[in-house]
Amino acid sequence: MDNLTFRYRVLLVEGLQITHQTSQLTFIFLLITYVFTIVSNIGILIQISAEKSLHQPMHILFCHLPVSDVIGATVLIPRLLKDLLTDPSERYITYVECVFQAFFGHLYGTTSHTILMIGLSVRLSHCKSFISNHCCDNASLFKLSCENTVINNVYGLTFTVVLLTSSLGWVLMTYLKIAMVCLKSRNKATNSKAIKTCSTHLTVYVILLISGFVPIFLHRFSEYAENRKFGSVMFHVIPPGLNPIIYGLQVKEIRQRMLKLCRNS
């Protein structure tokens, strides 16, 4: 067991199986998306930090989202860009780097729900050195093992179901309470603002759930490997790219500050 634990210190990542021309277009798209994600999210953080009028609980809570998005994009896209420029036979990654990528990938995926689930896979010995995925995640790590991984599959799926159910439950309960308050209130302006805010939150939440659940589900079906990879990439691209637009422009104070900066420049 001990000899197998660190049998392979360097692993080969399968990456995205796409043509050379498609690889170039994918590289350009991911690069532009990554730059936009980093600039826009850091820009929102700077605006909130620099503007005293934004030092309020609601806006401070918004800081969580940009930080999470920066982590989510950075944990995957730079490495993926490097792999797109590298020959498939040379896409190596150390086991330690793979564990860190998987850890921070799942940290991003579950940080909004305050739960991490990477312990179970690290305990396994691994007898394979090929990662049949474009990046490291929890499922990719336990697939390196020749041991029985039923508990990992059961835990992963159970965790996903419990997380999804509890998350949906809290969201549903929260919005029911908001709806009840709106029904009792006769203030049209307040109701309009509440509906606008709730619709924005729900849009982001639905996008995050769909883009996150698809790769988790497809990891259990090898015949959909490529679909799973693209689904995972979109999970690290779509929410971080859309959140600054949806949240940043929806918050009046941040929107006015950004427009003021654009006019001054």
113: DSSP letter: G
Residue 249: the pLDDT is 64
Question: Which has the closest alpha carbon to 11: 145, 111, 112?
Answer: 145
Residue 59: the pLDDT is 62
Asked if residue 22 lies in contact with residue 79, where contact means CB atoms within 8 angstroms, the answer is no
Residue 58: the pLDDT is 58
Residue 214: the pLDDT is 81
Work out the number of other CB atoms within 10 angstroms of the CB of residue 11.
Answer: 21
Over its length of 265 residues, how does the chain's per-residue pLDDT go in tens digits? 444 455 678 899 988 888 888 888 999 999 999 999 999 888 888 877 777 776 665 566 667 778 888 888 898 899 999 999 998 889 999 988 988 888 888 777 776 544 334 575 666 777 888 887 877 877 777 778 887 777 777 776 777 777 777 777 777 777 777 777 777 777 777 677 667 767 777 777 777 778 777 887 787 777 788 888 888 888 888 878 877 777 666 666 677 777 776 677 6
CA distance 263 to 177: 40
219-222 — which CB contacts under 8 Å span 24+ positions? 219/137, 219/139, 220/153, 220/157, 222/132
Residue 83: the pLDDT is 92
Q: Using CB atoms within 10 Å of the CB of residue 154, give its burial: 0 to 12 exposed, 13 to 18 middle, 19+ buried.
A: exposed
Q: Alpha helices, DSSP H only, in 51-116?
A: 57-62, 64-74, 77-84, 95-110
Residue 3: the pLDDT is 45
Q: Domains of the chain, with CATH numbers?
A: 3-264 (1.20.1070.10)
